[in-house]
Every structure is written in C-alpha cells, then in structure tokens.
C-alpha cells in the first residue's frame, strides 16, 4: 500500500471507525437512560396510585388522574393518552380507566407477584402492578406511557450524530488527503535520493526540507550522510590517484635498475649496489602498502576499544624509536603524568603515535630533541610531538594531513603517515591538528577518555 493511502487509512478510516463505535455506544447508553427515566416515572406513578387506590368511601377503587383539575385540558391535548391508567378487578375485568386507548387490554388478571412488571408494547412502555384491596382481594393496576417522545429524542440523536460524523469525515478526508500527500512527497523525495545513493549518484543533495519535525531530521541526517559519502569518495579517488602516482616512481626505479644491471655483466660491487637500490624501493613499496592498509582499517574496520594506559602506550612508541633516535643523534623526551587511562584501540593509537615520532625524527636536526607530551583535561587526552626542525609553513596546517601531500615539508615516506594519524584520531572520535609553535613543528592527537 502506498504511503499516502496508508496515512489516509490510519488518519481517516480508523478515527471515523472509532468515532462511530463511540457514537453507537453513547447512543445505546442514552437510549437506556431515557428508558430508565420512563420506567422510574411509571414506578413513581404506580407507587402513588397504589397507596391511595382504595381511599374513597366504600373502598371503591379510583385513579387520581380522575380528580385532577386539569383533566379536561390533558384530554384535549392527548397527554393522558400518553400516560394512560386502568384498574382491573380480581376477575380481570376492567373497572375504570383514565382513557381507553387501543393498547389498553379489555381484561387483565392480577399478576402473581408483588413486584411491578415492565414491558414494551406497541410503541409504549407498560407497567402492571398487583394491588390488594382493603379486604385482600387482588386488583391489577395498569399504567402506560407512549415512547414516542423518547423515540423522537433517540432519532434526533442518531440523525445529529450521523450528520456530525459525516461532516467530521469530510473535514478529516480533506485535511488528511492534503497532509498525507504532502508528507508522502517529502518522504518519497528522501527515498528516491537514498535509491540514487545506492546507485552511486552522490552529486545531488536530498530535496530541501527545513521543517523541525522527524522527517526534517531524517532529511538532515541523510544530507549529512550524503556529504560524508561524497567526501569519502573524493578522498578515495584522491588516494587512488596519489597511490598510482607514488607507485609509478618506485616501480620505474626498479625497472630502470634491473634493465641497466642486465645490459652487461656486472661485478660483485655493482650488483650489490643495484640490489641495495632494489631493496630500498621494495622497502618503500612495502611501507606504502602498510600505510594504505592502515588507512583502510582506520576507515572501515569495526571498533574494539580497550581500557588502556596512555602513558605506557606512548612509552612503548618511544622505546620502538630509541635506536633510530640514537643513530640520528636526537634525544626523545617524555612529559606525562603517572597514568592516563582511556577507552581506545591501543594498536591503532600506538601506530598513530609511531607516525608522529617517525615524522618528527625525519625533520629534526642532529643534536636536537623531540619532546613528547601527554596531557589529560576535561575528559580528553592529547599527545603532542614537537621537533626542532624548520616547522610547517603558514597555510599548510591542513594540507600536511592530506594523503600523498609532500610539499609542505620535504622528506622520505609515501605521504600517508600524517593522513593515517588523522584517520585514526577521527576513528576514536577525536582530531589531529598542527599546534602553533615558535620552534619546529608541533603535531597533536586529541582523543576522548571514554
């Protein structure tokens, strides 16, 4: 079923059905209430008549309506016919009546019980009551009132309810049809956009919808996801283009080295030199492959955070680079509190710290130091690595984190190290950035503690 039809069904048919059921229920209660009022009136009249039925001299039965000063007026309007009364003797013969009506029986034997008997006959409500005379002989009191006023009231209720329900149905249908069509168009626009996303069409944004409701929130979420997918695709395309460019250089070097080596016989020294060149390029390719795999894992692998002491994590990274720093005559200095615990992926975050240290050691001069600082504040932890090199040029603070961007600071590597640092930081819900520094370059990873 289409969305607009489903909305019409639930927004019109269901409410109208419930309203109709409620109206029927109220009508039945109303009808029972009116009938109960009629019965109560008959019982009251029966009680009054039965108490004084034989209070005339000679104990001859009589009806109080006979003594009413407005009897003639009531008879002229037909009101007494609407509330007729009669008395029947022990043999069932009718002794007297206020007014004979077609529904009044000719004979009526006294009922067996003392409780009044109520029933509906020929559009009237009838009460029959056993009334004993002073000498104990049973008589029957018959009272009847027309149900025509009650039926008119009930009929008026049903007509009014039906007309009201019809008006409500019309108003609901018009309002819900417009609302359902409008809402369906909004949702269908988002659905078509999502379908286009599935087909790889990321150039368009979802239809404009700034209303502050759940559909507007859905549209905003889809829009953010579209922007993220567009950025991810652009990043992948840049990475693929960069990887192709970077792979071409070592592969060309390998091809040239092998071709030159094979052109003529070589001595051991020349062969060794050629193999060292090949080994260096293979190492470069291996490093690039590892960094590409790391970028893929940082973007797609499921997270598995563990409680980790960040101080020990940073110390482990420093230990791994101690020999490299010694050969480069660079001192590694750690400034950190006793312990900083956080929910992180230790292997991933350790790799990010390794890349920061590798980057610093590549750019700091001999005889200087690299300062590694760990600080925890306001629910976040930051790891800063500062070298004493020539620093990062103004305006290149963001470009150093772009994959294969190597213009900012010349150096070895595939150009993926700092891009991987940022990817890992964002994977942890944090960020990687360049911190302004008067001496050298200072790069920082910030991650939440929990």
Least confident of 9-13, 64-68, 422-426: 64-68
For residue 88, the surrounding DSSP H or E stretch is strand 83-88
Q: Is the separation of the CB atoms in 53 and 141 below 8 Å?
A: yes
In the chain, where does the domain assigned CATH 3.30.565.10 lie?
306-448
**Within the chain, which residue ranges are assigned CATH 1.10.287.130?**
202-301
Token pair 């993926």 is found at: 416
**Weakest mean pLDDT among 58-72, 124-138, 292-306, 431-445:** 58-72
pLDDT digits (tens, 9 = 90+) for 126-159: 999 999 988 888 999 999 888 888 888 899 988 9
Q: State residue 147's pLDDT score.
A: 85
| Contact predicate 311/338, CB 8 Å | yes
Q: What is the CA radius of gyration of the chain?
A: 50
pLDDT of residue 81: 44
> Is the separation of the CB atoms in 359 and 432 below 8 Å?
no
Element holding 333 (H helix, E strand): strand 331-335
**Any alpha helices (H) in 52-147, and if so which ranges?**
71-77, 79-82
Q: Any residues with CB less than 8 A from the CB of 403 and at least 6 apart, and which?
A: 235, 238, 239, 242, 295, 415, 416, 419
pLDDT by residue (tens digit) across 51-92?
A: 877 877 767 777 775 554 434 443 443 444 446 888 999 999
What is d(CA 258, CA 279) in angstroms, rounded to the nearest whole number? 12
Say if residue 278's pLDDT is above 90. no
Instruction: Please check the confidence at residue 20 and state whether its pLDDT lies above 50.
Output: yes
Is the confidence at residue 413, as pLDDT, over 60?
no
- Which residues face 118 on adjacent strands? 127
- In whole angstroms, give the CA distance from residue 13 to residue 16: 5
Q: How far apart are CA 227 and CA 234, in angstroms?
A: 10
Total residues belonging to the chain: 450
Dihedral sign, CA of 282, 286, 287, 292?
Answer: positive
**Structure tokens given for 42:** 């008959």
List of residues 6+ apart from 341 with CB closer than 8 A: 307, 308, 309, 310, 449
Average pLDDT, the chain: 81
Pairing of strands 341-344, 94-97: unpaired
pLDDT range class, residue 199, cuts 50, 70, 90: confident
Distance CA 131, CA 407 (A): 119
Helix (H, G, I), strand (E, B) or coil at 101: coil
Q: What percent of the chain stands above pLDDT 90?
A: 22
Reported CATH class of domain 202-301: mainly alpha
The helix or strand, by DSSP H or E, that contains position 446, with its residue range, turns out to be strand 442-448
Pair 400, 393: CB distance under 8 Å = no
DSSP state at residue 442: E
Nearest CA to 413 among 360, 373, 353? 360
What was the pLDDT predicted at 71? 43
Specify the pLDDT at position 414: 52
d(C-alpha 431, C-alpha 441), whole Å: 17
User: The tokens of 121 are what?
Assistant: 């006959």
Mean pLDDT confidence for 308-331: 92
State the pLDDT at residue 10: 65
With DSSP H G I counted as helix, E B as strand and the rest as coil, what are the percentages for the chain, rounded to 5? 55, 15, 30
The pLDDT of residue 386: 94
The C-alpha atoms of residue 215 and residue 225 are separated, in whole angstroms, by 15
CATH class of this structure's domain 306-448: alpha beta
> For the range 240-247, what are the long-range contacts, defined as Cβ-Cβ under 8 Å and sequence gap of 24 or more?
242/403, 242/404, 242/415, 243/288, 243/292, 243/404, 245/404, 246/288, 246/404, 246/414, 246/415, 247/285, 247/288
Q: Which CATH class is domain 3-153?
A: alpha beta
Hey, what are 44's tokens?
Answer: 């009251």
- Residue 243 has a pLDDT of 64
User: What is the per-residue pLDDT across 244-267, written as a single tens digit (0 to 9) for each?
Assistant: 656 666 777 778 878 877 787 877
The most distant pair of C-alpha atoms in the chain lies apart, rounded to whole Å, by 160
Confidence band of 326 (pLDDT split at 50, 70, 90) = very high
């Amino acid at each position: 079923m289409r969305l607009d039809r489903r909305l019409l069904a639930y927004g019109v048919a269901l409410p109208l059905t419930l309203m109709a059921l409620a109206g029927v229920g109220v009508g039945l209660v109303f009808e029972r209430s009116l009938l109960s009022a009629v019965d109560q009136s008959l019982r009251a009249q029966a009680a009054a008549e039965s108490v004084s039925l034989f209070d005339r001299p000679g104990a001859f039965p009589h009806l109080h309506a006979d003594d009413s000063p407005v009897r003639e007026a009531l008879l002229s309007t037909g009101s007494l016919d609407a509330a007729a009364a009669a008395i029947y003797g022990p043999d069932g013969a009718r002794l007297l009546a206020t007014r004979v009506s077609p529904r009044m029986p000719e004979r009526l034997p006294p009922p067996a019980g003392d409780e009044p008997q109520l029933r509906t006959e020929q559009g009237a409500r009838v009460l029959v009551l056993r009334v004993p005379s002073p000498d104990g002989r049973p008589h029957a009191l018959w009272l009847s009132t027309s149900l025509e006023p009650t039926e008119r009231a009930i009929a008026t209720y049903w007509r009014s309810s039906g007309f009201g329900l019809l008006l409500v149905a019309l108003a609901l249908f018009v309002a819900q049809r417009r609302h359902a069509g409008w809402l369906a168009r909004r949702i269908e626009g988002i659905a078509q956009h999502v379908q286009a996303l599935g087909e790889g069409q990321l150039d368009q944004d979802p239809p404009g919808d700034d209303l502050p409701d759940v559909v507007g929130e859905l549209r905003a979420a889809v829009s953010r996801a579209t922007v993220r997918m567009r950025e991810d695709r652009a990043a992948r395309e840049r990475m693929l283009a960069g990887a192709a460019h970077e792979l071409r250089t070592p592969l060309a070097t390998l091809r040239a080295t092998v071709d030159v080596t094979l052109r003529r016989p070589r001595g051991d020294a020349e062969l060794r030199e050629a193999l060292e060149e090949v080994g260096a390029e293979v190492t470069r390719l291996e490093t690039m492959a590892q960094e590409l795999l790391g970028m893929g894992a940082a973007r797609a692998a499921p997270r598995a955070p563990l409680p980790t002491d960040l101080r020990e994590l940073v110390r482990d990274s420093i230990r791994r680079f101690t020999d490299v720093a010694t050969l480069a005559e660079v001192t590694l200095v750690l400034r950190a509190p006793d312990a900083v615990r956080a929910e992180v992926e230790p292997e991933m975050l350790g790799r990010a710290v390794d890349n920061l240290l590798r980057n610093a050691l590549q750019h700091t001069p001999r005889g200087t130091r690299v300062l590694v600082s760990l600080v925890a504040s306001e629910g976040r932890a930051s790891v800063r690595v500062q070298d004493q090199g020539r620093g990062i040029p103004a305006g290149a603070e963001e470009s150093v984190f772009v994959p294969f961007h190597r213009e900012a600071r010349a150096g070895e590597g595939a150009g993926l190290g700092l891009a991987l640092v940022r990817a890992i930081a964002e994977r942890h819900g944090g960020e990687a950035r360049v911190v302004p520094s008067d001496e050298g370059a200072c790069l920082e990873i910030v991650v939440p503690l929990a």
